[in-house]
Amino acid sequence: MNRSLRLATAVVLVLGLAAVAALLADRAATGTDDQAAKQIGNLTGEAYEPWAQAPGVPGGERNAPLLFGVQAGAGLTVLLGCLWYWREHRSEA
């Protein structure tokens, strides 16, 4: 396979995996953060107040899964780019 075809395949694969991650993240589920907050509330009799608040998600909590999918896609892109770079430069040595 020539170099440009491999790069195009990698890009399509990364974008496809990012889309799958975004679609799966869209499911409404209780995460560990929610479970921890509920348990702390149970243990302290709802008297606990957090020291700091997390920054909000642009556009509200509804966009959090999309933001997570984009972050996962970006991380996967960096990982695949590093692996590709390592493979290409290792074979020249």
- For each of the chain's 93 residues, which pLDDT tens digit applies? 688 888 889 888 888 888 887 777 666 666 677 788 888 888 888 887 777 776 777 777 777 788 888 899 999 999 999 998 988 888 665
Q: How far apart are CA 84 and CA 78, in angstroms?
A: 10
8 and 15 Cβ atoms separated by less than 8 Å: no
Cβ-based neighbour number of residue 18 at 10 Å: 19
Calpha distance 35→37 (Å, rounded):
6
Instruction: Give dist(CA 74, CA 64) in Å, integer.
Output: 15
CA 2, chain centre distance (Å): 31
| pTM of the entire predicted model | 0.42
Q: What is the CA radius of gyration of the chain?
A: 20
